[in-house]
Structures are given as C-alpha cells and as structure tokens.
C-alpha cells in the first residue's frame, strides 16, 4: 500500500496516473517545489514540439504530440496549484485537439 495515497499503487489509484499523483498529500508549497523540474522539462519539450509542428504542418503526429504535452503540462500546473497557468495550457491543448479532429 502506498503511504501517501493510501491505495495499492497504481492499480487502485483513482483516475489515470499522472506525474505528481504520489505527492498530492504533501504541503502545497512543497508540491510546487517538487514539480518545478518536471514542469521545466515539459516546457522544454513544448518548445521543441511547437517548432516541429510549425515546420511540418502536414504531420499530424507532431501536433498530436504537442497537444498531449500541453495537456500534461496543464495537469502538472493543476497539481502545483497554478490554476491560471493550468487553464491556459489545457485550453491550448483543447484548441490543438479541435484542429486535429476538424472542429
């Protein structure tokens, strides 16, 4: 049993597992600090993926990867308590997904 979540890990963890799930019971200030490294990594990945998507607009796979990373960054921002950044990131992901499905 996981001491932080109280669940057998990850099978009984409610919802999909995302980075930061194991630390949600920690003091909010510490969560933000712990998530700084993965947030920075996601931001670096976004910079690369944005360039790839812009340079190759015909490649839907680059836009799909960009939307997935944007969504993951939004989830990390949520866990870090940075709700305005989370909303912006998730809205950007939604816009990309909408373009991909033709809406």
85-103 confidence digits (pLDDT tens): 999 999 999 999 999 998 5
Q: Are 7 and 14 in contact (CB under 8 A)?
A: yes
Q: Is 80 exposed, middle or buried (0-12, 13-18, 19+ CB in 10 A)?
A: buried
Quote the pTM value. 0.69
Share of the chain above pLDDT 70, in %: 68
Q: Are 45 and 69 in contact (CB under 8 A)?
A: yes
């Amino acid at each position: 049993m996981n001491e932080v979540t109280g669940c057998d890990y990850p099978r009984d963890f409610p919802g999909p597992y995302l980075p930061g799930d194991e630390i949600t019971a920690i003091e909010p200030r510490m969560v933000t600090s712990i998530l700084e490294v993965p947030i920075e990594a996601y931001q670096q990945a976004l910079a690369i993926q944005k360039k790839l998507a812009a340079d190759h607009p015909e490649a839907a796979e680059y836009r799909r990867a960009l939307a997935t990373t944007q969504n993951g960054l939004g989830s990390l921002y949520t866990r870090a308590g940075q709700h305005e950044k989370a909303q912006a990131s998730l809205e950007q992901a939604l816009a990309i997904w909408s373009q991909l499905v033709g809406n």
